[in-house]
Amino acid sequence: MNIVGKGIAKIDGMSIATGKPVYTDDLAAKEALVVKILRSPHPYAIIEEIDTKRALMVPGVECILTYKDVPNNRFTLAGQSYPEPSPYDRLILDKTVRYVGDEVAIIAAIDEKTALKAMKMIKVKYNVLTPVIDMEEAIDNESIIHTEDVHCNFDIGMERERNIVSKHLYEKGNVEEELSKCDVVVEDTYYTQAQSHGMMETYRAYNYLDHAGRLVVVSSTQIPFHVRRHLSRALDIPSSKIRVIKPRIGGGFGGKQTACVEIFTALVTLKTGKPAKIIYDRKETFTCTTSRHAMKLNVKVGA
């Protein structure tokens, strides 16, 4: 009972108040390559041609990676446990892009200006398809979001051909009989909006190889062990060869329970042997990461 009901000083309270903690970008080496992502302007398309020759000639460009240059291992960033309940439905870079902002190419250069200059020189030819952008029109739509087979660790009720990722039916008792006994029955349909977290520090990661050749990932994340698992599968390397360091993070609120940036810098470091970092701007943070989905809820209650 020495501490119950009493004020306890926060261990790192004074250092936080005086601005001493360091964050991901504070730990990045000055010579780290800067990583930028070329993104799709289309909500649904297939990449027919991608030309990086001129971009690679820009002085200071270290590497440019497309879907032809990355591991072909499907993985998921959803799910906090293992085995993950969500389907392994994504690649690091895919020939098919499925939303405006989807990743098309990874550019690594000596600085941001050089990376952005090279990005503008990449030429991409798309076969634009009809997108599915409304959840109420998605089921049994002619456009199938994933035409390829995707792996699930166990049955989640997925019907890929109908654009249904998961379904579950749970009933207990005779609902209609109970409702018939009620004096008042209220039934309506409710909608929620998609939600994105507004943390001050956007998504970012910094990678390097240590003296033993192990991939070290410094990330503004809330889930270091899950990040390691995701990287291991996506990059096809043992988790024992990956170390994830989580420094102080500039806000998360659950929004950093994902690994939306670490794979890109990790891939650059593995390809070049050099340190690399990526920092999402605010637009990327809102549009190119995972968020809470919008929902449609049909509710019927009785009293």
Q: Is 142 among the domain residues?
A: no
pLDDT for 175: 94
Token reading at 92? 């690091």
Q: Is 212 among the domain residues?
A: yes
Q: Is 155 among the domain residues?
A: no
Tell me the HSE value of 159 on the side-chain side, using a 13 A CA sphere: 9
Collapse the DSSP code of 103 into the 3-class scheme (helix H, G, I; strand E, B; otherwise coil) and give the result.
strand
By the 8 A CB rule, do 278 and 264 touch?
yes
Report how far residue 43's alpha carbon sits from residue 287's, in angstroms, rounded to the nearest whole number: 12
pLDDT for 296: 96
Q: Is 282 among the domain residues?
A: yes
Residue pLDDT tens, the chain, 303 long: 888 999 988 898 999 899 999 999 999 999 999 999 999 999 999 999 999 999 999 999 999 999 999 999 999 998 778 999 999 999 999 999 999 999 999 999 999 999 999 999 999 999 999 999 999 999 999 999 999 999 999 999 999 999 999 999 999 999 999 999 999 999 999 999 999 989 999 999 999 999 999 999 999 999 999 999 999 999 999 999 999 999 999 999 999 999 999 999 999 999 999 999 999 999 999 999 988 899 999 999 999
Q: Is 5 among the domain residues?
A: no
User: What CATH number did the domain enclosing 81 receive?
Assistant: 3.90.1170.50
Average pLDDT, the chain: 96
Tens-place pLDDT, residues 198-208: 999 999 999 99
pLDDT for 81: 85
Domain that holds residue 47: 24-132+196-287
Q: What angle do CA 104, 223, 40 make, to 5 degrees?
A: 10
Q: Is 261 among the domain residues?
A: yes
pLDDT for 291: 87
pLDDT for 89: 95
pLDDT for 156: 96
Residue that is written with structure tokens 């006994």 in the block: 181
Q: Is 296 among the domain residues?
A: no
pLDDT for 93: 98
Report how far residue 202's alpha carbon sits from residue 198's, in angstroms, rounded to the nearest whole number: 8
Cis before 83? omega within 30: yes
Q: What angle do CA 171, 176, 181 make, to 5 degrees?
A: 130
pLDDT for 183: 98
Q: Is 186 among the domain residues?
A: no
Q: How many domains does the chain have?
A: 1
pLDDT for 218: 98
pLDDT for 99: 96
pLDDT for 194: 92
pTM over 0.85? The answer is: yes
